[in-house]
Structure 1
């Protein structure tokens, strides 16, 4: 038996098919992954993401510590805004990707559940010499509400202060409403919000959302939605041997302040100069399904595969197979993917594949 979120019983009552995910018992779907996917693209879906690890960072050196720990620079945003970033090792590899919510003098981090112990150990190791307190918050739950109607529904479901917060938030903005953190962030390519709240309040909010017509949505649809949106999954598209440059996350690396010596900076600067592989999108031209670890051959390449798919799926929105793949720099046009001992053509594109329910990919 794995860890259980405060919504475990609600998932069972709704017919959720429970699976192990990073040591947690989580719903993969509630009967139809496809219908859940379309509900988020067309209406609104609710995800239990309470398995994510919430960590509060405080202390007089909290700012300096996070500027050392993270590849992105928290000074780029003001209080009340969130920033996406990575923690790196000395080789520039990604220890984990995370969101940082910046308060006036404090910070809240949300990291992946499967890397929880590794992340906390790494954060403690890097805290040496800093007056900082790192405090995990297992008492909190997290619910994501995503879709074109998500924010309008939340405005009706939440208290007056919460409704005002949802209505006024910019993208990647957040606001505390009592003990609740309400943020305009997400992992689907749709608008919406993620709410971090006391665990004992989660089931009541979940039921109010369901009563308002929001569809419970499992991890299966969450994965197809995030891939359509061109968003990375830790362990697939990046890991400790892959740098942000190679994971398509160069935009999360801040090198403009030469005095900020964050962990992994020297390795990133060296790789940027020497060159690196790219994470690019693929759209299969015919029938078939793209999956992780399938080999990719580029025109004029070597006898063996020149690249590899890191994440692949059938896109319910597009009706086509799509993937992210690590390929030689500058790859464009058509490539061949190895599927069941056959080579099938795929178009190299710039992700995201879908945003706000519309096809957005561009051929390269």
Structure 2
């Protein structure tokens, strides 16, 4: 196995991972833990108790100024006016003029400002694009909270704490967060002063389990991690993060969609708000381009493993797998796939794996949520 390149970025938790014996890999230019021993154990710990993930490679960007909302109405395809209350969060996409997905992100309303959380590998290009769009508005300022980004201020680390016991462990580890961990609704956030500095606790995640993501002052991120591990959270790497999100039917940017992909073809039409005449970037192209695929789940019926880019054949036409893996929860191979537009749950299709056509059944994702199989 080749050595990890030496020019990779590292999060504030790099030494913590190294000391814990993590296997480190190149992930979008970052040296990140893929596992700490057993990916399956980390996956199952998150489903049954609590997993903890370093997501400090992702980037928070604060959007401030009196034109912040108008700016977000233009660049986010979902409608930020749905954020009625302080702390509320919204999932959505940034689209280019051709309606390709530049990135998917979460927008938080943190009065009087907003906060975006964008993907790691796209953070630099996202920020360039957002800065360019912001130049058309009078009073909008973008303040990144990831240390390596231009004009960063008060940089933060980010930890995801996920699983049925996650909120309880947060209360034990950082008692000042206890009220928010008890009271916050799903897809809401709060900023709380603690002995570790101001922490944003957001009841969001990427695993299909309950839990929260914590944005913590950079200097105290490792301390917060250690407190959570001491309370009983299981460190988990990118391997488990990927199998968990795939079981939960959640898209991964760069794999399930990119700037050439219409959100309509990858199950994201629900994030495109067309209830008003709001002229968001990509809207006119979206309305001129009909949906070509439905985005559905597959479960392999034969022996083998479903992987991205495998061709799917059916009597209704041809499709392609965007993400595939072996599901530790179901003990079966599963995938997300772009399928012919008239595909239906229960259809039997053939997936081409090493020149063989193996049978798979079409299902509705998610496969697993809150520890329970749904298919």
Classify the TM-score, shorter chain.
Answer: over 0.9
Query: How far is the alpha carbon of 1:121 from its aligned partner?
Result: 1.0
1:22 aligned residue:
28
Task: State how far apart, in whole Å, the 1-side matches of 2:319 and 2:44 are.
Answer: 31
Give yes or no for the alignment of 1:71 onto 2:77: yes
1:135 aligned residue:
143
Give yes or no for the alignment of 1:12 onto 2:26: no
Query: How far is the alpha carbon of 1:140 from its aligned partner?
Result: 0.6
Task: State how far apart, in whole Å, the 2-side matches of 1:360 and 1:74 are.
Answer: 31
Task: State how far apart, in whole Å, the 2-side matches of 1:209 and 1:121 are.
Answer: 35
1:286 aligned residue:
302
2:44 aligned residue:
38
Asked if the contact 2:316–2:340 (Cα under 8 Å) also holds between the matched residues in 1, the reply is: no
**Greater Cα shift, 65-74 or 262-271:** 262-271
Task: State how far apart, in whole Å, the 1-side matches of 2:170 and 2:30 are.
Answer: 27
Residue aligned with 1:245, SS: helix
2:184 aligned residue:
169
From 130, 144, 152, give the equivalent of 2:168.
152
| CA deviation map 1:228-265 (0-9, x unaligned) | 0000000111111111111101111110011x100001
Matches within 5 A, 1:310-321: 310-321=322-333
1:299 aligned residue:
315
1:181 aligned residue:
200
Residue aligned with 1:41, SS: helix
From 263, 266, 274, give the equivalent of 2:284.
266
| CA deviation map 1:268-322 (0-9, x unaligned) | 1222xx3421111101112110000100001153xxxx11100000000000000
| CA deviation map 1:40-88 (0-9, x unaligned) | 0011010000000111110110000000000001111222111100000
Residue aligned with 2:351, SS: strand
Moved over 4 A (4+): none
| CA deviation map 1:130-161 (0-9, x unaligned) | 1200111121100000001101111111133x
1:50 aligned residue:
56
Give yes or no for the alignment of 1:356 onto 2:370: yes
From 102, 105, 128, give the equivalent of 1:95.
102
Task: State how far apart, in whole Å, the 2-side matches of 1:146 and 1:220 are.
Answer: 15
Task: State how far apart, in whole Å, the 1-side matches of 2:190 and 2:311 are.
Answer: 44
1:241 aligned residue:
260
| CA deviation map 1:303-349 (0-9, x unaligned) | xxx11100000000000000011111121211100011100110011
| CA deviation map 1:16-53 (0-9, x unaligned) | 11111111111000011010000000110100000001
Give yes or no for the alignment of 1:340 onto 2:348: no
Task: State how far apart, in whole Å, the 2-side matches of 1:182 and 1:17 are.
Answer: 28
TM-score between the two structures when normalised by the length of structure 1? 0.95
| CA deviation map 1:91-135 (0-9, x unaligned) | 110000001111122011111111112101110111122120011
1:232 aligned residue:
251
Aligned residues: 353
Residue aligned with 2:117, SS: strand
| CA deviation map 1:156-197 (0-9, x unaligned) | 11133x110111010001100022100100000000000001
Task: State how far apart, in whole Å, the 2-side matches of 1:128 and 1:73 are.
Answer: 21
TM-score between the two structures when normalised by the length of structure 2? 0.93
Give yes or no for the alignment of 1:213 onto 2:232: yes
Task: State how far apart, in whole Å, the 2-side matches of 1:219 and 1:165 are.
Answer: 27
Asked if the contact 2:265–2:291 (Cα under 8 Å) also holds between the matched residues in 1, the reply is: no
Residue aligned with 1:55, SS: strand
Task: State how far apart, in whole Å, the 1-side matches of 2:145 and 2:83 are.
Answer: 24
Alignment root-mean-square deviation, CA? 1.0
Task: State how far apart, in whole Å, the 1-side matches of 2:30 and 2:188 are.
Answer: 29
Task: State how far apart, in whole Å, the 1-side matches of 2:231 and 2:136 are.
Answer: 50
